[in-house]
Amino acid sequence: MGIKLIIGRMLNVIAAFNTVLQLRRGTAARAAILPRIFVAALAAALFLSSPASAALGGSLASVDDDQKQSQCVRRSTQVYGSYSVYELQTGNGSVIREYVSSAGTVFGVAWEGPNLPNMRQILGSFYGQFEQIASQRRQAHQRGPLVIEEPGLVVYSGGHMRAYIGKAFVPSLVPAGVRTEEIR
């Protein structure tokens, strides 16, 4: 995991805690607890972050870069006519498959394992759309597998603790002749 990513996550956690403290306490209390917040933010950034893979819509080069940053091991690469599948395994045993078109664009991602992947990282620029729909679902107290079927993004995600499975793809990026059922 890159140092910039760790520092960015720490700063986000510290900013969130600082906002809460401003609402609840005065300046002296905030100054006393700030070192504890820093340690908690560092621990969260280092240990609670789940490694993931290239972003949806990203390039083939991002697959290799993210593999190095997240310390994944490439288990296999398979070539099927108009696309390739890069299978990575994370340190916690999760498997992430990236579907890359012959043009070099990640058009689909699938995952399975004991932890959910970092959705912000694997969805890349599509994360905002995903979060908006998932947030509406949470507010409506809907439970069960997450199903998003929008023209620009399709996500299926489900499972339970220690057994998660899912896939995401962008229909417009799927190469001609490739069935979306192949993304698994």
Q: What is the pTM of this model?
A: 0.69
Q: What is the pLDDT of residues 11-49, one digit of tens each?
A: 555 554 454 445 445 555 555 554 554 444 333 433 333
Q: What is the pLDDT of residues 143-184, one digit of tens each?
A: 889 999 999 999 999 999 999 999 999 999 999 999 999 999
At 25 the pLDDT is 54
Over range 77-81, report the average pLDDT: 94
* CA-to-CA separations, 75 to 6, 35, 79, 96, in angstroms, rounded: 26, 41, 14, 10
